[in-house]
Structure formats: C-alpha cells, structure tokens
C-alpha cells in the first residue's frame, strides 16, 4: 500500500507540473526605449524568422534568443514560430547555406 501511495503522489506531482507548463505564457521583451508598445504574433514571428529586420515604426529589430535547448526557447518556437527545434534548425541551415539569413543570437539568461 505504501508503494501505491508513493506512486500516486509522484503521478499527481508530475501531472501538476506538466499542467502548469502547458498553461505557461510566452513573453517577448522589448527595450523600454522602443516606441513599439505592442507587437502582434505575426510581426514577432517574422522578426525571429529573419523575414523582416525592422519594427513597424521603421526602427531596427535585433532578435535575441535564449540558448538552444532551453524550455523557454522550445515553447517560443512551438507557440510563436510554429516550428519544433529540429524544424527551426533545418530552416536556418537552409538560409545560412544560401547566404540569405543568420539566426538570432542565443543568450544565456541568469536568474538574479
């Protein structure tokens, strides 16, 4: 009976953990000095896929991504860009090979 309770607790904890992850929101952070107070998902996607390099007001957009393999980056790729990590890697490989693009730089964010 003790084993059953331990397994049940572990399953409950895992279920709660995955449920919280499923409801997590994706946030895109823009410099406070940026005049573009609101960006739609399509514009963000086009910036991060290298299809456009400017914000709607004409100022330069420089996308910076989290490091490859981070859960936040994977969630962003899936929810906003509509691509898995492997699809995105293939996408950028084609653009790099043809000289038509460079992926956003990855930055390791540290918790303070």
Please state the rounded mean pLDDT for residues 1-19.
Answer: 40
Count of domains for the chain: 1
In a domain, residue 112? The reply is no
Provide the residue range defining the domain that includes 84.
28-107
Return the pLDDT at 107.
76
- Rounded-to-integer distance, Cα 5 and Cα 70, Å: 33
In a domain, residue 102? The reply is yes
> In the block, which residue shows the tokens 């399509």?
42
In a domain, residue 12? The reply is no
In a domain, residue 44? The reply is yes
Report the 10 Å Cβ neighbour count for 5. Answer: 9
* pLDDT tens-digit map of 74-111: 999 999 999 999 999 999 999 999 999 999 988 766 55
SS3 state at 14: helix
């Amino acid at each position: 009976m003790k084993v059953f309770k331990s397994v049940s607790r572990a399953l409950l904890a895992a279920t709660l953990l995955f449920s919280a992850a499923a409801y997590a929101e994706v946030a895109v952070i823009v410099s406070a000095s940026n005049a573009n107070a609101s960006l739609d998902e399509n514009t963000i996607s086009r910036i991060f896929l290298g299809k456009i390099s400017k914000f709607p007001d004409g100022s330069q957009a420089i996308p910076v991504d989290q490091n490859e393999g981070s859960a936040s980056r994977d969630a962003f790729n899936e929810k906003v860009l509509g691509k898995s990590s492997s699809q995105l890697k293939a996408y950028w490989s084609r653009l790099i090979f043809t000289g038509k693009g460079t992926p956003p730089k990855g930055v390791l964010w540290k918790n303070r």
